[in-house]
């Protein structure tokens, strides 16, 4: 390979934290990347003291803070997706309704799941993380995760109140179950994930009319 003398560098040595042998980011703290001799050509740095057929191209080192992120970035890069941005790992968050939410009767919840694993773990995150899911400036990598948000009913009767076969007043349990059934088409497994927690954070009341059978008012 011809390389102009003003670019060509031979017998260079790195102690790490400069280059790596793959494009896949290295988990910070687990490796310092490539350590050893290298040379610089017109096409970039290569392993070995001088360029030979055995030389391997070196890439500028990139770090990530988890093995999971490293695996995800490799997957999308293998598919030709640009991943030059620094993405964040999702942080599981227990969202809690505020007094204002109880006055409204609901609050918004946010969930994500890996795109490459429809049976993967579902994680609850906060609004700040969710809003940056499709933000080009960073945040959670949208190539790896898909998300869904929805209203979560927290006040009212425990179950639907019916009148002549028509829902007279929506109940917390039934409303949240309907919501989960609807969102199951977007985030597979969300129904199973929350089906036994449909009264979570709720303040419900019961009275003689509260039933899933017809009532006379």
86 lies in some domain = no
pTM of the predicted model as reported, rounded to 2 decimal places: 0.59
Alpha-carbon distance values, 50 to 22, 36, 42, 59 (Å): 20, 12, 13, 17
81 lies in some domain = no
108 lies in some domain = yes
- For 126-147, give the secondary structure using H, E and C: CHHHHHCCCCCCCEECCCCEEE
User: Domain range holding 195?
Assistant: 99-215
Domain count, the chain: 2
Tens of pLDDT along the chain (217 residues) come to 666 565 678 999 999 888 888 877 777 777 778 999 999 887 788 999 999 989 999 988 776 666 655 665 565 556 555 454 457 778 888 889 999 999 999 999 999 998 777 677 899 999 999 998 876 566 887 777 889 999 999 999 999 999 888 988 999 999 999 999 999 988 999 999 999 999 999 998 875 454 454 444 3
195 lies in some domain = yes
26 lies in some domain = yes
Instruction: Please tell me whether residues 105 and 198 are part of one structural domain.
Output: yes
């Amino acid at each position: 390979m011809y390389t102009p003398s003003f670019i060509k560098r031979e017998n260079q040595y790195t102690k790490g934290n400069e280059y790596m042998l793959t494009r896949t980011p290295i988990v910070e703290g687990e490796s310092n990347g490539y350590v050893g001799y290298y040379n610089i050509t017109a096409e970039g740095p290569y392993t070995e003291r001088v360029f030979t057929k055995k030389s391997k191209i070196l890439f500028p080192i990139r770090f990530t803070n988890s093995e999971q992120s490293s695996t995800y970035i490799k997957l999308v890069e293998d598919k030709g997706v640009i991943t030059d941005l620094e993405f964040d790992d999702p942080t599981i968050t227990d969202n809690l309704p505020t007094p204002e939410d109880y006055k409204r009767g609901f609050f918004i919840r946010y969930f994500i799941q890996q795109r490459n694993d429809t049976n993967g773990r579902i994680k609850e995150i906060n609004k700040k993380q969710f809003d940056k899911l499709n933000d080009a400036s960073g945040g959670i990598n949208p190539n790896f995760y898909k998300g869904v948000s929805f209203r979560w009913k927290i006040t009212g009767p425990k179950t639907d109140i019916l009148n002549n076969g028509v829902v007279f007043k929506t109940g917390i349990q039934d409303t949240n179950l309907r919501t989960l059934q609807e969102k199951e088409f977007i985030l597979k497994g969300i129904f199973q994930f929350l089906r036994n927690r449909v009264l979570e954070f709720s303040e419900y009341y019961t009275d003689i009319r509260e039933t899933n059978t017809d009532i006379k008012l």
